[in-house]
Amino acid sequence: MAILLAPPPPVSCSYQPPLTHRINYHSPQSNPKPKLEDVSFTFTQKTNTTHHHPPWFQEINKLCQSGNLPKALNLLNKSSDSQDFSGYHSRREAIGVLLQACGYWKDMETGGKIHELVSASTRFRNDIVLNTRLVTMYSMCGSPLDSRLVFDRLQEKNLFVWNALVSAYTRNQLFDDSINLFVELISETDFKPDYFTFPCMFKACSSIFDVGLGQVFHGMAIKVGLVMDVFVGNALVGMYGKCGCLEDAVRVFEKIPKRNLVSWNSMIRGFSNNGLSYECYNLLREILGEGFLPDDATIVTLLPVCASEGNVDMGMVIHGLAVKLGLNEEMMVKNALMDMYSKCGYLSEAMILFDKNNKKNVVSWNSIIGGFSREGDIYGTFDLLQRMQVEDENVRPNEITILNVLPACLEEKELESLKEIHGYSVRHGFHDDEMVANAFIAAYTKCGCLDYAQHMFYGIQNKTVSSWNALIGGFAQNGSPKPALDFYFKMKNAGLDPDWFTIGSLILACAHLKFMHYAKQIHGFVLRNGLDCDSFIGISLMSIYIQCNKILYAHALFSRMEDKDLVCWNTMLTGYTQLELPGEALHLFRQMLSNGVRPYEIAVTSAFEACSQLLALRLGKELHCFALKANLMEDMFVGCSILDMYAKNGCMEQAQMVFDSLSERDVASWNVLIAGYGINGHGSKALELFEEMYRLWLKPDRFTFIGVLMACSHAGMVKEGIQYFNEMQDLYGIEPKLEHYACVVDMLGRAGRIEEALKLTSEMPEEADARIWSSLLSSCRIHGNLEMGTKIAQRLLELEPEKAENYVLVSNLYAGSRKWDDARRVRQRMKKIGLQKDAGRSWIELGGKVYSFFAGDDMLPSSMEIRDMWKNLEEKITLIGYVPNTSCVLHELEEEEKIEKLRGHSEKLAISFGLLKTSKGSTIRVCKNLRICLDCHNAAKLISKAFEREIVVRDNKRFHHFKDGLCSCSDYW
């Protein structure tokens, strides 16, 4: 069997002992309880004497099958203690049967009484077989200490009783004790471990993930000649599979001379738990090819593989196989099928199976409740929880039920339901379980009830790292990063070290707070403890550096990562676009393609955003073709990104075509189109779209109104804008936020209604931020309102004293009113605190390459050509009315010097270069980082007329489409 393997994480395995020992000594594994009708409690220790049992023995056997053990014990006590061999033998067998039944039904009380009966009898006190039964009974009832006491009191011991105690420790997860007992067995006795002892050892080694010790026991099994035994081989396959050593598991599997179905199931389980689904399905085909018929263990091992991958098609194939083999009526198979369908998103199919199940157990209810909870169906989840308690009095919620319900509690409106579950858990003692307590902490934080989360946390007596993680993670993920850091320091003071989950939560908290100092400390801890190889932590560290605007740090981490997965690439791409580094984002996208990494929705969306920022239309079109070929157009995010890219490149016709071609138009796509028309100067069209959206019964959101208000602002539609602003809350129930007020303030300011705008700022429910004061200051400069502008400037500089752009606005206010001394004073203050004005920059994309130009830049290779081109342009447009507007030069210079300054504006350089390098009739698209000045605006209008070209300029506020001597803004911007 040729199987390709990769080192996977550790997994679980199972072991089934030889049939001849299965009743006497019980498997060290927690095997599913057999069906009651299949159980026959008979004493299987063979003797050389044949005998017939009396009627009371048969009655005891029936009572054991029905679980009525106290009555069976009474019947045993009433039976005569005959001195003849036959009576003694029947009584001895009856005791053995009762002990076996006590273990099966976990009736330790009745088992203890039988123990007293055995101890009081001189004939049975030292009976090795009955004492072995006692050891097994106590272990099955969860009391390995009593098993040990029985073992220690035995005067003579055989291998069976040693094996029974080894199994007792293994069954009760006392794996170290099991291994120590094995060492005692081989060092202090002459017994040799057999094909029952070794499987117990392999189970113990796999459970503590000690593959090295397991290999030692493997060697011992080889020496004593048991390694070829099918049961030992199966246990070895299970151990290696669980420890992630699948190559060793395959080697052992292939050497088993007579593989049984358990062998195949063990191998499937190894592949399954290591995420190798393809190999699992191949093994199923080989099982059928070898003539074996899969059993319920095969089916319930394969179905979780389908569930984890969402492979419902394969799940249906296995469902069909189970039906053909008559296994679909098995309880475990029913539950596994239900779980598979719900996890694959086929909740209605899971519900059909659930309703058809007439013998539901707690696992059945937990599976379907978990399915509804994962879907976020809070009402369905709680309805099932109530049904569970009403419909079946024999089934009661357990800890797993609570853990399945809690993920549905995601919002504040579920708080009352969460409290009800909490009360139920307290009444039934579930809250003492660490996992349940941690889940409640997480649920309370998600519902915004941080006080309850802390109260729950402080109620935990023995707080583990997981408990601290639940609280720290809950605070970090739900908008309270500062308390998350505080609790981390308390955790450290308590003497507990963080794990990878703690680190991830701390990184998230630092990212929210932009605490670079703590981020570096966490990074140092990660490096010192060797956690930097963890992909999740590496990506989280990249994210925090991006949030703190330290993109070089993030790129250094990215470069050092050996195995970059798709999430890693996506994080870096998103970081570049968030920090408005579109060139770097597109370069990384190309590198991603050249490395053979196929980009999906997130990466493609980031690339479209980069094209939008760069005004790189050609690259955007190429990317659009890529998305079409890669079948990504059905994704709503990709569709909106393409729509946004065309809108932000000034191509509203193409944007409208993309919008019309979308198979499903959600509110987000309408928002993008409305905002696109707004910034491109088509205010009326934007409002038409809004009204059409309303007619289609699509409910607008707060982003819709941002687009509508921006459209009204850019088009000078003040009356309409105020009307929509007032209707936001009255008609649509949307509370205006700060960004909506900012749009209205900007709209009033552009229209020269500065006093109204200022009055609105005083009526806002929140304090006006720097954006609003900056907008008002610009309006004061445009409309020459020096007095009001001076007051606003003071307020702006108080809010953001370290932002260069604010000082430039104040300086321009004074310069525009010819207050040169005040303008110089502001610039000197700016220089004193080390701030530098952003240079005017424009860029243009030609042939897929982006060319940048700075104001007054003479260092470009083609500077002379560009200057000559502008000289030619200036001569032609002067003939049709161009006069340099020197009022745009806000410096105290001579008139000729001002004209020369105007000639060096970056948008003029970019337009000149575009005319040099493009053919007649093609559109020139220029992007500018600052607002276009009045002189450049007038020049661009005249150039479009003189040269019969369409020129599109996007400044930091809006688009200007110049054509035939006119601009789309109608000279209102």
* Model pLDDT for residues 220-265, shown as the tens digit of each residue: 999 999 988 999 999 999 999 999 899 999 999 999 998 999 999 9
687 compared with 524, residue with greater pLDDT: 687
The two tokens of residue 348 are 């209605």
Phi-psi region of 39 (alpha: psi -120 to 50; beta: other; left: phi over 0): beta
To the nearest 5 percent, what fractions of the chain are helix, strand and coil? Answer: 70, 5, 30
131 compared with 55, residue with greater pLDDT: 131
Q: Which residues pair with 127 in a beta bridge?
A: none
Tell me, what's the pLDDT at 49?
A: 42
Tell me, what's the pLDDT at 466?
A: 87
Of 877, 874, 899, the closest CA to residue 888 belongs to: 899
Of 901, 856, 903, the closest CA to residue 878 belongs to: 903
**CA 134/CA 719 separation, integer angstroms:** 91
Tell me, what's the pLDDT at 80?
A: 57
CA angle centred on 765, ends 764 and 770, rounded to 5°:
60
The two tokens of residue 223 are 């020496």
**CA 843/CA 852 separation, integer angstroms:** 4
**CA 210/CA 233 separation, integer angstroms:** 18
Residue 859 has pLDDT above 80, yes or no: no
**CA 553/CA 544 separation, integer angstroms:** 10
Of 619, 598, 609, 606, the closest CA to residue 571 belongs to: 606
455 compared with 149, residue with greater pLDDT: 149
650 compared with 535, residue with greater pLDDT: 650
User: 396 with 386: CB under 8 angstroms?
Assistant: no
702 compared with 836, residue with greater pLDDT: 702
For residue range 329-343, what is the model confidence (pLDDT) as tens digits? 999 999 999 999 999
856 compared with 772, residue with greater pLDDT: 772
Q: What pLDDT band is residue 84 in, cutting at 50, 70 and 90?
A: very low
The two tokens of residue 606 are 């980031």
Phi and psi, residue 918, nearest 5°: -115, 160
Q: What pLDDT band is residue 541 in, cutting at 50, 70 and 90?
A: confident
888 compared with 337, residue with greater pLDDT: 337
For residue range 709-750, what is the model confidence (pLDDT) as tens digits? 999 999 999 999 999 999 998 888 899 999 999 999 999 999
Tell me, what's the pLDDT at 86?
A: 56
Residue 872 has pLDDT above 80, yes or no: yes
Of 674, 658, 670, 736, the closest CA to residue 697 belongs to: 670
Euclidean distance between the first and the last CA atom of the chain, given in angstroms as a whole number: 74
List of E strands, 678-722: none
Q: What pLDDT band is residue 16 in, cutting at 50, 70 and 90?
A: very low
Tell me, what's the pLDDT at 792?
A: 93
**CA 9/CA 475 separation, integer angstroms:** 30
Query: What's the whole-model pTM score?
Result: 0.66
Tell me, what's the pLDDT at 294?
A: 93
**CA 186/CA 377 separation, integer angstroms:** 57
What does 6-21 look like in DSSP terms, one character per residue? -------------HHH
507 compared with 704, residue with greater pLDDT: 704
Residue 13 has pLDDT above 60, yes or no: no
- At 462 the three-state DSSP class reads coil
Q: What pLDDT band is residue 802 in, cutting at 50, 70 and 90?
A: confident
User: 119 with 125: CB under 8 angstroms?
Assistant: yes
Q: What pLDDT band is residue 650 in, cutting at 50, 70 and 90?
A: very high
pLDDT mean across residues, the chain: 87
Dihedral, CA atoms, 566, 572, 577, 581, nearest 10 degrees? -140
What does 468-501 look like in DSSP terms, one character per residue? HHHHHHHHHHTT-HHHHHHHHHHHHHTT----HH
CA angle centred on 674, ends 672 and 675, rounded to 5°:
65
User: 835 with 804: CB under 8 angstroms?
Assistant: yes
User: Which of 200-204, 401-405, 857-861, 865-869 has the highest mean predicted lDDT (pLDDT)?
Assistant: 200-204
Phi and psi, residue 442, nearest 5°: -65, -40
580 compared with 52, residue with greater pLDDT: 580
**CA 799/CA 770 separation, integer angstroms:** 6
**CA 112/CA 369 separation, integer angstroms:** 39
Q: What are the residues whose beta carbons fall under 8 Å from the beta carbon of 154, sequence distance 6 or more?
A: 126, 128, 131, 161
The two tokens of residue 161 are 């009783």
Tell me, what's the pLDDT at 448?
A: 80
Tell me, what's the pLDDT at 535?
A: 77
Residue 776 has pLDDT above 90, yes or no: yes
Q: What pLDDT band is residue 300 in, cutting at 50, 70 and 90?
A: very high
Count of helix runs (H) and strand runs (E) in the chain? 51, 6
Q: Which strands make up the sheet holding 849-854, listed edge to edge?
A: 849-854, 841-846, 924-928, 951-954, 959-963, 966-967
pLDDT mean over 72-82: 77
Q: What pLDDT band is residue 33 in, cutting at 50, 70 and 90?
A: very low
Tell me, what's the pLDDT at 162?
A: 96
Tell me, what's the pLDDT at 724?
A: 95
Tell me, what's the pLDDT at 23?
A: 28
The residue length of the chain stands at 973
pLDDT mean over 936-952: 94
